[in-house]
Amino acid sequence: MKTLFLIFIFALLLKAEVQTFNSTDDVAKQAHLANINALLIFTSQDGLNTGLFHFTKVSVDMQIYNLPFRYHFESTSDLNYFLVGNVGYSRVFASQDFVLPPNSPISTDTHLQTYTGGVGMGLRYKLRDDLNILGGLELIYSRSGVNVKQSDEGIAAPIEDFFNNNYNDNLSYKLLFEADYRPKVKYMQPYAKLGYKFYDTKSDFSVTKLTTFFSQSSVISASLGLQTDALYRYNDAYLSLEGYMNANYLQGDVVKSIQFDNYYKIGGVGYWYLEDKESWIERFFLEVSTISADGLEGYNFGIGFTLNY
CA angle 249, 86, 292 (to 5 degrees): 30
Longest dimension (CA), the chain: 68
- Structure confidence at residue 9 (pLDDT): 41
**Total count of domains within the chain:** 1
DSSP labels, 138-194: EEEEEEEEEE--BSSS---HHHHTT-BTTEEEEEEEEEEEEEEE---BTTEEEEEEE
- Structure confidence at residue 31 (pLDDT): 57
CA angle 296, 23, 1 (to 5 degrees): 70
Residue 223 and residue 264 in contact, taking contact as beta carbons nearer than 8 Å: no
- Structure confidence at residue 58 (pLDDT): 73
- Structure confidence at residue 299 (pLDDT): 86
- Structure confidence at residue 101 (pLDDT): 56
Interatomic CA distance for residues 178 and 135, integer angstroms: 6
**Residue 113: which CATH number?**
2.40.128.130
Residue 220 and residue 183 in contact, taking contact as beta carbons nearer than 8 Å: no
Sign of the C-alpha dihedral, residues 114, 149, 28, 38? negative
* E-state strands within the chain: 48-55, 60-72, 79-94, 111-128, 131-147, 167-181, 188-203, 213-228, 232-234, 237-252, 262-274, 281-293, 296-307
Which residue range is the domain that position 90 belongs to?
A: 5-307
74-78 LR contacts (CB < 8 Å, sep 24+): 74/309, 78/125, 78/126, 78/127
93 Cβ contact partners less than 8 Å away, ≥ 6 residues apart: 4, 7, 60, 61, 63, 108, 109, 110, 111, 112
pLDDT tens, per residue, the chain with 309 residues: 334 444 444 444 334 333 444 444 555 565 566 666 776 776 655 556 788 888 887 777 888 888 888 888 888 889 999 998 888 888 877 777 666 555 554 555 667 778 888 999 999 999 998 999 999 999 988 887 766 554 444 444 334 434 445 667 888 889 999 999 999 888 899 999 999 999 888 876 444 444 455 678 889 999 999 999 999 999 889 999 999 999 999 998 778 777 789 999 999 999 999 987 767 888 898 989 998 888 888 888 888 877 766
**Encoded amino acid at 4, one letter:** L
Residue from 226, 231, 266, 276 nearest 246 by CA: 266
253, containing H or E segment: helix 253-258
**Encoded amino acid at 112, one letter:** L
- Structure confidence at residue 35 (pLDDT): 64
- Structure confidence at residue 45 (pLDDT): 52
This prediction has a pTM of 0.78
- Structure confidence at residue 242 (pLDDT): 96
State the DSSP code for 27: H
15, containing H or E segment: helix 5-15
CA distances from 243 to 147, 225, 292 (A): 39, 6, 17
